Structure 1
């Protein structure tokens, strides 16, 4: 029992024993698996291997440590012994290096495995191209470059059989939309070098639409294998809500370290998950300042040697705890873990399960501690612990038909292998995009086909597969150098003149933003401050095309294309230690950004609009708390959604990505669930007029003015009757 000054809820999640199945595997492959301690296969492993052997594309939904690797490992190794090759795509370079050792265990059988990514040296890359391995381990970014230079990989591609995409739930939104186009380009290039059919094996955490999403990502039919038959440890769940003080809630990071102090020592090992680099760094700094020895920071961005050192120290027990972001959420081998702390809800139930799954291996009871932050979603799950553990998993989403994403991939396709006019015209929006590329002198005719010009080649080589649309280049005026870039859709609200901008752990102040030339000029702040800036904005939405309509909660719910006009007219300066506004500053010239995207909008019933006092302020509050609930069902970051509400009774929620990332469609399908969650949060929040735990949004473009919590409760109560 933890001894803490906090509101506490505890319950047990009982473990389960494994169920086994049978599948025929080559004797020499099985002998190496025996050496690893694998004597027989779980039922989902056997089912998955059988389906792959029958030639099906398979997606395996599996929690952490459920043995999903064997579902693709066995077919890949048996294929290698027949002379077939495979690509295995992991979401991170660290995971690629970690998993390489699993494949190299089969080197005794003559199976060669290599990693080909940004950390691979030039001479090793050249060797891989000349002497292709049986198993090539890479990531989606590097696969894009492999395809651009496909002629160098002709020998490998001609005998390619299996493509594995691990952790496909990572490939959502803009990144997933790019990835879908890269996979389709891979299928095209492979068809140029081989008459054989590619076979795909995907793995995923437990999400709401794994089979549908795999089919959308790859463009082929899939069979679903559910890893429900893997063994599970018993988990003791402890949910903590920091106590309220006169200045608000106690810091959740401080409480996380108080918990850590009670969970480590005597050989016990702990992972502390934070939801951002800054949170992880802050926990690490406070741990050092309070002499909490044995806690170290592990996150993306560390040098590979430093990461490996930390992994080994944690495995051998010289380090008691690692404070980490999602870097250790995936299947990295770091040995047994006794407890995990979730410093804040990670956005989705799936990520909760992934993080909890890191503890309690080898049949031992695990402790999983969730510490709620002072925001609507965290407080909702603290008040509804069953939803925290057993709630509906989010659905993954992509929009590979996004025009801004399609265009660079059409140009990339021409570089992968010269494109015929038939291929160009059969490409989605091919005729329109091809005309634009020709007009921009990005492509040229070559031997009856089309290839990129030098200008086009520079464009595809510099393409960022984690963004859509134009980017703004950022320059440090003192150092006189380029320091980074930001998507245009975000730049106008983060880099306006006077904005405090964080980059590489340092604070800058923006001096000038030129949206026409897509450039921003910043200067290092030069002094320590706890201040930050928030844009003040006016938003308008206009429907351009209705794609779907249905009745919902007594009103009418619609989904379609909209035109968004977003104007930044000023900003406020806030102190994050006191959460108070210190100044309010208008811009000399407002910045206006307009774009087309996808949205869902709800027309509230007239009896609700006219029966609730101060309906407009109540609707504004409903918009805030509704959007706060949506990441749990979509897996989206809150910044990927925007909202506009009108006093007459219409509320819009739109994709912040120009031309849409696919979020709005999920919200259209799950709108009733969103509003039930929003009502529960307002009903159970104990504040009187509104607080960060319910309706206050730190990024509100109106600085949280014109909000009415009581009116919002009445609106949602009437809808949810």
Structure 2
């Protein structure tokens, strides 16, 4: 069934049509192509020709700006080809300089794995030896030294970089020759968390200077109200913003769906979400459903499978859940099933909000307003990645904000993008990273002001009074107990990770907050739509032991 047929279903079936309060249709937009001002190398151009890729105008503008030595922030919408826009200038430099290297930072492991596949293809087709590799918490110890020594493109995340900077001597090959730092989905780094990441990047740049390199930045983000200001605050550098999208877009229908259209609801918004998901999957629309929590993602999956099983066991098996906590091999298997189309319905937290390439999506269901227009448009943008008609449905919760949008659709669709705010002057954030920086290299109270601000000398004196820093002939060095990086939590969350074991087999992992809420002794836990009872929670070893059980409650 095509998207228009499902729209007719929504507007004609009695259980649906009263709940459809508004349908906003965006007409197709043709592609605008261009060519770089300076021709690409034969190998890179050959890759584009072989894959029948014609560059869009914003991709060429990004390539030209990066080639001119400028820092770039690219803010075009989801599915506009941002990855290719920053990969080409990176490969351009790596081809010309055999020693050159690049660092790619991603906010999620799923996104890094997706981009590793693209980089390997690019390297293979062009013959440019880059040896891209992921370096994060899942990387086996046996492979880490090889990646540090040989990989010319290292993919990681800010948390990992935060912890490895103190071992910078092992990273000399990268830090000495790094030419680009690429930060994908950079809008995720805002608020207090973003302020932490800003100082991680300043510490990284400080080490790059120590080893004689001066990398340029390419940032890609969702559409922001203040891209240049945001990029400058995040990195401490000046930027050029590129925001004119040249990619084509198919017709998109955005449905506002209100279960509380008459003030009350016969079903919960989550049950309505389940019904919509099953309807989409039955009509062969590959659908991604976003929910607000891990538990709700599991429950909607469980309910959807139960409903779909009444039609076909095969249909039920084509619905799955995707969320944080899954083991790496589970995540990668699900991502592959999304790409090859064997999964028809996926229920996720915002783990799939970002730019993982799953191009066959027909529809997106958003269960409750995500809190920002930035996230709403990111999630809705996951449908229609191949230029075909696409459908997005926002299912309203009963709260006042969701209901306001349902009754004032003009205000919803005319809302501007949010500002992304970072405060590099936050003393509570800055102080921790000063200790980390001193543990990495002795601090100079004059030259290091470019990274940590003019108030640096005042902090140094205070730390000396508290026996955290000590002045030496080389500068100020860290003298506290324990690793400085361990004392600074980038996300403000407790650091313990609990392992969930079933009959000795690792089922998933949870941070402490989720474990206390969802996996205490006696709790019924959901994983991949199956139920487990928690038998033991060991706070010393951070181990939770569960047993599979068949109950109709949670």
Report if TM-score (shorter chain) is over 0.5.
yes
| Kept after mapping to 1: 8 A contact 2:280/2:287 | yes
Question: What is residue 53 of structure 1 aligned with on the other side?
Answer: 67
Q: Distance in 2 between matches of 1:33 and 1:425?
A: 44
Deviations 1:508-537, CA, capped at 9 Å, x for gaps: 89xxxxxxxxx9xxxx9xxxxxxxxxxxxx
The answer as to 2:431 corresponding to 1:407 is yes
Question: What is residue 25 of structure 2 aligned with on the other side?
Answer: 12
Displacement of 1:244 after TM fit?
6.1
Q: Which has the higher relative contact order, 1 or 2, with Cα contacts under 8 A spaced 6 or more apart?
A: 2
Deviations 1:394-440, CA, capped at 9 Å, x for gaps: 11111121111111110111122122343467743323322332233
| Kept after mapping to 1: 8 A contact 2:112/2:155 | yes
1:161 is paired with a residue whose SS is strand
| Kept after mapping to 2: 8 A contact 1:414/1:451 | yes
Q: Distance in 2 between matches of 1:247 and 1:53?
A: 58
Alignment of 1:32-51 (within 5 A): 32-38=47-53, 40-51=54-65
Displacement of 1:58 after TM fit?
0.6
Displacement of 1:333 after TM fit?
2.0
Alignment of 1:293-372 (within 5 A): 293=316, 294-372=318-396
Q: Distance in 2 between matches of 1:327 and 1:230?
A: 25
Displacement of 1:230 after TM fit?
1.4
1:433 to 452, 455, 459: 459
Relative to structure 1, the CA distance from residue 127 to residue 451 in structure 2 (aligned partners, 3 Å threshold; closer, same or farther) is same
| Kept after mapping to 2: 8 A contact 1:150/1:417 | no
Question: What is residue 285 of structure 1 aligned with on the other side?
Answer: 302
Displacement of 1:245 after TM fit?
7.6
The answer as to 2:243 corresponding to 1:218 is no
2:275 to 254, 258, 273: 258
Relative to structure 1, the CA distance from residue 439 to residue 90 in structure 2 (aligned partners, 3 Å threshold; closer, same or farther) is same
Displacement of 1:323 after TM fit?
0.1
Relative to structure 1, the CA distance from residue 268 to residue 7 in structure 2 (aligned partners, 3 Å threshold; closer, same or farther) is closer
Displacement of 1:473 after TM fit?
9.3
Q: Distance in 1 between matches of 2:516 and 2:270?
A: 22
Q: Distance in 1 between matches of 2:467 and 2:258?
A: 58
Q: Distance in 1 between matches of 2:518 and 2:512?
A: 15
Relative to structure 1, the CA distance from residue 249 to residue 289 in structure 2 (aligned partners, 3 Å threshold; closer, same or farther) is same
| Kept after mapping to 2: 8 A contact 1:268/1:338 | yes
Displacement of 1:271 after TM fit?
0.5
1:434 is paired with a residue whose SS is helix
The answer as to 2:184 corresponding to 1:159 is no
Q: Distance in 2 between matches of 1:247 and 1:230?
A: 42
The answer as to 2:153 corresponding to 1:140 is no
1:79 is paired with a residue whose SS is helix
More helix by share: 2
Deviations 1:608-647, CA, capped at 9 Å, x for gaps: xxxxxxxxxxxxxxxxxxxxxxxxxxxxxxxxxxxxxxxx
Question: What is residue 141 of structure 2 aligned with on the other side?
Answer: 122
Alignment of 1:55-134 (within 5 A): 55-81=69-95, 82-83=97-98, 84-105=100-121, 106-107=123-124, 108-129=127-148, 131-134=149-152
Displacement of 1:337 after TM fit?
0.5
Displacement of 1:209 after TM fit?
1.0
- Consecutive unaligned residues of structure 2, counting only runs of 5 or more, are 1-7, 310-315, 499-509, 523-538, 545-553
2:224 to 197, 202, 207: 207
2:78 is paired with a residue whose SS is coil
Relative to structure 1, the CA distance from residue 12 to residue 305 in structure 2 (aligned partners, 3 Å threshold; closer, same or farther) is same
Relative to structure 1, the CA distance from residue 316 to residue 267 in structure 2 (aligned partners, 3 Å threshold; closer, same or farther) is farther
Question: What is residue 189 of structure 1 aligned with on the other side?
Answer: 207
- Aligned CA-pair RMSD: 2.7
Q: Distance in 2 between matches of 1:137 and 1:306?
A: 20
Displacement of 1:466 after TM fit?
0.8
1:377 to 398, 401, 412: 401
Deviations 1:97-132, CA, capped at 9 Å, x for gaps: 110111112142222211111111112111122x23
Q: Distance in 2 between matches of 1:272 and 1:118?
A: 28
Displacement of 1:28 after TM fit?
0.3
Relative to structure 1, the CA distance from residue 339 to residue 228 in structure 2 (aligned partners, 3 Å threshold; closer, same or farther) is same
Displacement of 1:266 after TM fit?
5.0
TM-score by length of 1: 0.64
Deviations 1:349-396, CA, capped at 9 Å, x for gaps: 121211111111222111111111111221122222233334201111
Relative to structure 1, the CA distance from residue 218 to residue 442 in structure 2 (aligned partners, 3 Å threshold; closer, same or farther) is same
Q: Distance in 2 between matches of 1:251 and 1:321?
A: 20
1:450 is paired with a residue whose SS is strand
Alignment of 1:487-506 (within 5 A): 503=516, 505-506=518-519
Q: Distance in 1 between matches of 2:230 and 2:448?
A: 26
Q: Distance in 1 between matches of 2:497 and 2:347?
A: 31
Relative to structure 1, the CA distance from residue 442 to residue 335 in structure 2 (aligned partners, 3 Å threshold; closer, same or farther) is same
Question: What is residue 448 of structure 1 aligned with on the other side?
Answer: 474
Q: Distance in 2 between matches of 1:314 and 1:422?
A: 53
2:150 is paired with a residue whose SS is coil
| Kept after mapping to 2: 8 A contact 1:445/1:451 | yes
Relative to structure 1, the CA distance from residue 484 to residue 449 in structure 2 (aligned partners, 3 Å threshold; closer, same or farther) is same
Relative to structure 1, the CA distance from residue 211 to residue 245 in structure 2 (aligned partners, 3 Å threshold; closer, same or farther) is same
Displacement of 1:248 after TM fit?
5.8
TM-score by length of 2: 0.82
Q: Distance in 1 between matches of 2:211 and 2:80?
A: 36
* Count of residues in correspondence between the two structures: 486
Displacement of 1:281 after TM fit?
1.9
Relative to structure 1, the CA distance from residue 354 to residue 123 in structure 2 (aligned partners, 3 Å threshold; closer, same or farther) is same
| Kept after mapping to 2: 8 A contact 1:98/1:332 | yes
Displacement of 1:216 after TM fit?
1.2
| Kept after mapping to 1: 8 A contact 2:367/2:395 | yes
Q: Distance in 1 between matches of 2:217 and 2:392?
A: 35
Relative to structure 1, the CA distance from residue 502 to residue 20 in structure 2 (aligned partners, 3 Å threshold; closer, same or farther) is same
| Kept after mapping to 2: 8 A contact 1:414/1:452 | yes
| Kept after mapping to 1: 8 A contact 2:19/2:261 | no
The answer as to 2:288 corresponding to 1:274 is no
